A and B are shown apart, each in its own frame.
Chain A
Amino acid sequence: MRIHCAGANAFLLDMSEGTFQDTIQVRIWGMAHVLQAAQGITMLTPGANNLLVVFDPQITEIQSIHRLLKQAWDQAASISITPRELVVSVVYGGDGGEDLAHVAQQTRLSETEVVRLHTSCAYRVAMIGYSPGFGYLTGLPPQLHVPRRDRPRLSVERKSVCLGGEFTCVMPQTTPSGWHILGKAQCPPLFDPTAQKPCFLQAGDIVRFVRA
C-alpha cells in the first residue's frame, strides 16, 4: 500500500499492481469497512484498486492516521463481506443497442455470441463514481474488450448497457459517453436523489445480465 498525500487532510492509498485486480479490490472494501467505524475519518471513496481517505483536520494528526491506515489494511486481509447479487434484464440490440453490430464486427463474433458472452458471467461493481450512481463493472470477458469511441457521443440514454475498455456499465443518467451501447436495461432507476438509498448499485455487488 502506497500512501500519497491527496490534500491537507486527505490521503490516496494506492494498492494497485499494474492492471486492475479483483482480489485487491475485495481487500479495499474490507478496509473501507474497518475505517468506517474509525474516529476522525470523514470520507472514504474507493477507486479502482485505491482508496481516498479524508480525515477531520481538527482532531486527527498525520502520524496517527498513518498508523491507523496500516492497521486497517492488515485487518482487511481477513475480512469477508458477503456481496449482494442483482440480476438485470437487458433488451440487446435494436434501437436501444445501436452498437451491437459494431461490437460484433470489432470482436469478430456474431451478435448472438456477443450477447451470450455478455450474459455468461458475474460482474462485480468495482467502484461507484464518475457520475451519480455510475458503477464500473469488472469481469468482462477479454473477447469483449473494445477500445472506447474516438468521438464520444454527446448523449447516451440512461439505462443503456455499455462496454468501454475492460468495463461494462448501465448508464445512470443520459450523458455524453464514449462507450459502446449494447442494449437497454429494465431495472429501477440507477440513481434517485430522493431515495434513502440513492444508488441501485453498491461497490462490491455482483451483477448478472439476462436477456429480457
Chain B
Amino acid sequence: MLEILSDGPFNTVQDLGRPSAVPWGVCAGGAMDRESLIRANILAGNTVGAAAMEIMFFPFKVRFLENCVFAVAGAPARATLDGTSFPPDWSMQAEAGQVLILQAPEKGVRSYLAVAGGIDVPVVLGGRGTDVKGGFGGFKGRGLQKGDRLPCGHAELHALPDGGVGLSGIAALPDKDNVVLGLIPGPEYEAFTQEAHSLLVTQHWTITPHANRVGFRLEGQSPLLTRQSLSLLSHGVLPGTVQVPPAGQPIIQMADANTCGGYPKIGIIAEPDLSVLAQMPPGSRIRFKLVTQEHALARMRARTEALQSLAEQVPAFKKHLLAS
C-alpha cells in the first residue's frame, strides 16, 4: 500500500493500455512513454505491462506503507528516499513509512514509478490504466490526490543492496530544440502538395501548449495543404498518427486519442519515437525524417527485443547480487 502525499490531476495509474477495447470506441490509453513504463516495471521485477504511476506534476510525494521494492524511470526526476538521493532508471528497497520525493526533471515531462507487484487496481475493459475522459480505470477513474491509498499487488520481497540497483547506458532524451522523429508516410501523404512534402521535412514544428494525453498540436511557419479538399469517411486512428486539418497545422494523436477520425493523415510516428515525443514539453522544436514502413517495423522489433532481453537479464542480475 502507498499513500499519495501530493495532489496532481495529471498523475495517473497507467499500464500498456486496453487495445482490446478500441473496437468499442474506448481509447487505447496506457503510458504515454511506453518504453519508460516497461523499464520501470522490469527494474521493479514486474511483468512489462504491470500498472505503475505516470507522474507529470512535481514535486511528487508518496509514502510507502509497507516494505517494498520500487523503481523510477522516464524523465530523470531528482529522486530522494527519506532524503537520500538515487540516480534515474533505478530500483530501491523502501521500508514502511519511508517517503519518496520526485522533483521536476530538467529534461522530459513524465516519470514512471513502478512498485513490485504492480498497482493493484481492478482491471476494467482489459486494462488497469486510467481513462480520465471516460472516468474509469486506474484509481477511481481520475488523477491522484493527496490522501489516496493505492494497493500494491503481491510480490516476493527481494533484498536489494543498500543504494539499490539500476540501469546504465539509457539514451538521454534529445534537447527540446532538436527533436528528430521518424515519420512513415500516411494514407493521404500523396494528396498533399509538393510544397507540403518539402515543408514537412524541412521546417521546424513547434509543440503548442495544446499538448496532452489526447494529442499534440503542432505549429509550423507554413501550413501543409492538400492539392484539393478531401472528404474522408470516418476511419480508425492509432496513436502516433499525424492528422492535418484543413488549416494545415498538424495534430499528433496520442494515447488517449479518439478511436476514429476523418482528417487527412500525412504520416505516422512509430515506437520508439512516439515514446520520445511523449517526453517533449510545449515549445519543443521537432523535425521529421521520412522512413519506410519496413524500416519502422524493423526498429520497433529491435526495441521490443532489446526490452525483452533486459527483462531476462535484470532478474538474473538481482539473483546474482543476492548470491554474492
* A-to-B contact residues, CB < 8 Å: 4-10, 12, 14, 16, 20, 42-52, 54, 57-58, 62, 127-134, 136, 172-173, 191, 193-194, 198-199, 203
CA–CA, A103 and B227, complex, Å: 35
CB distance from B248 to the nearest CB of A (A): 21
Q: Which residue of B134, B184, B234, B237 is within 8 Å of A132 (Cβ)? A: B134
A134 cross-chain contacts in B, Cβ below 8 A: 25
Sort chain B's interface into a size bin. Answer: 35 or more
B294 cross-chain contacts in A, Cβ below 8 A: 62
Closest B-chain residue to A173, C-beta based? B134
CA–CA, A10 and B301, complex, Å: 14
CA–CA, A48 and B233, complex, Å: 6
- A57-B297, A57-B300 are contacts. A6–B238 as well, Cβ < 8 Å? yes
Which of B16-24, B92-100, B147-155 is the interface stretch? B16-24
Instruction: Decide: B24 and A14 in contact? CB cutoff 8 A.
Output: no
Identify the interface centre among B258, B259, B271, B304: most chain A CB within 10 Å of its CB. Answer: B259
Closest A-chain residue to B185, C-beta based? A5
Instruction: Decide: B24 and A128 in contact? CB cutoff 8 A.
Output: yes
CA–CA, A203 and B184, complex, Å: 30
A194 cross-chain contacts in B, Cβ below 8 A: 124, 136
6 pairs from A and B in contact (CB 8 Å cutoff): A5-B186, A5-B268, A9-B300, A54-B238, A133-B24, A193-B124
Q: Which residue of B21, B125, B238 is within 8 Å of A10 (Cβ)? A: B238
CA–CA, A12 and B268, complex, Å: 12
Q: Does B310 sit at the interface, judged by CB under 8 A?
A: no
In B245-285, which residues have CB < 8 Å from any A CB?
258-260, 265, 268, 270-271
CB distance from B122 to the nearest CB of A (A): 9
* B-to-A contact residues, CB < 8 Å: 19-26, 124-125, 134, 136-137, 184-187, 233-238, 240-241, 258-260, 265, 268, 270-271, 293-294, 296-297, 299-301, 304
Instruction: Decide: B233 and A7 in contact? CB cutoff 8 A.
Output: no
B136 cross-chain contacts in A, Cβ below 8 A: 193-194
Instruction: Decide: A193 and B134 in contact? CB cutoff 8 A.
Output: yes
Closest A-chain residue to B182, C-beta based? A8
CA–CA, A46 and B240, complex, Å: 19
CB distance from A176 to the nearest CB of B (A): 12
Known: A46-B236, A129-B25, A130-B25. 19 other contacts (CB 8 A): A5-B184, A6-B187, A7-B184, A8-B271, A12-B187, A14-B187, A16-B233, A20-B233, A43-B23, A45-B259, A57-B301, A62-B293, A128-B23, A130-B234, A130-B258, A193-B26, A193-B124, A194-B124, A198-B21
B184 cross-chain contacts in A, Cβ below 8 A: 5, 7-8
